[in-house]
Amino acid sequence: MSGHSKWHNIQKRKGAVDARRAGMFTKLAKGITVATREGGNDPSFNFQLRIAIDAAKAANMPKENIERSIKRGTGEGAEGQIEEIIYEGFGPGGVAFLVQCLSDNRNRTVAEVKYLVGKHGGTIGNPGSVMWMFERKGVVTFLEPKQIKDREAFELAMIEAGAQDIQESEGTLQVVSEVGDLQAVVGALESLSLKPDGAGIEYFPKDRVPVSTKEEQEQLETLLDALDENEDVDTVYTNAE
């Protein structure tokens, strides 16, 4: 559950109806806009933009949507400015969570996040109350690891590129590295002609905590799903086992 990441969410949404797909495109578009604003509109020199575009393509986002999002990031168009906001809090069973949002209206977003968290048995904490429980990591994700034919060569290349861990669960494989080594890991994958479904910076819990009861587990999943469905919420991270 701690890996309730954007790539896991994309996998869940692949079979969704058009309304859900539109919501996913909105989130991906915001990610492209923010990456463009922070690092420029050329993916050859802006690695974060490059991986944001790759994520959009993996989700079959139309080319014109990608181009429009890049233009918004350079200041073209009349849309409002997109900013990243992170809310910290505690959910059912005392589980800590981070809600990473991309929003053009901070007041709307905080009101909606607080409402959803409170409705489903959680509380929003003060800045710093939860962040110290997590650390930023570079993460590369394969939703279909079977494309990796030579696992030994793959693992060796990942280690040489700076990977700290290779995790596989429920049919998904993730390569975890320090943030500064993420680009090298992606480059090593390209040299092996491997195309991951996603790459980016995520928050990993330093320690995981058990969720004691089935009722609390269900409440937590309901909270995570409700947050994930909100268009301003990009990703939710927890320290639940």
Q: What is the pLDDT of residues 207-241, one digit of tens each?
A: 999 998 999 999 999 999 999 989 899 899 999 98
Name the DSSP class of 209: B
3-class DSSP assignment, residue 166: strand
Domain boundaries along the sequence of the chain: 6-73, 83-132+207-238, 135-205
Q: Which two tokens stand for residue 224?
A: 């995570």
Q: Which two tokens stand for residue 37?
A: 């604003």
Instruction: Look up residue 236 and give its amino acid.
Output: V
Is beta strand 233-238 parallel, antiparallel or unpaired with respect to 123-124? unpaired
Whole-Å CA distances, 55 to 29, 118, 136, 197, 221? 10, 31, 19, 7, 24
Angle, CA 52 vertex, CA 72 and CA 181 arms, to 5°: 135
Which pTM value belongs to this model? Answer: 0.78
Q: How far apart are CA 179 and CA 140, in angstroms?
A: 11
Identify the CATH number of the domain defined by range 135-205. 3.30.70.980
What is the tens place of the pLDDT at every residue in 81-139?
Answer: 788 899 999 999 999 999 999 888 999 999 999 999 999 999 999 999 999 999 999 99
Contacts 24+ apart (CB under 8 A), 147-154: 147/194, 147/195, 148/173, 148/194, 153/192, 154/192, 154/194
Q: Which two tokens stand for residue 161?
A: 């590129």
User: For residue 80, what pLDDT is reported?
Assistant: 67
Q: How far apart are CA 72 and CA 45, in angstroms?
A: 18
* Fold matches, 83-132+207-238 and 135-205: yes
User: For residue 151, what pLDDT is reported?
Assistant: 92
| Superfamily (CATH) of domain 6-73 | Integrase, N-terminal zinc-binding domain (1.10.10.200)
3-class DSSP assignment, residue 171: coil
What is the tens place of the pLDDT at every residue in 48-75?
Answer: 888 889 888 888 899 999 998 898 888 8
Q: How far apart are CA 228 and CA 167, in angstroms?
A: 23
3-class DSSP assignment, residue 85: strand
| Superfamily (CATH) of domain 83-132+207-238 | YebC, transcriptional regulation domain (3.30.70.980)
The alpha carbon of residue 142 and the mean position of all alpha carbons in its chain are separated, in whole angstroms, by 14
**Beta carbons of 1 and 40 less than 8 angstroms apart:** no
Angle, CA 11 vertex, CA 9 and CA 13 arms, to 5°: 70
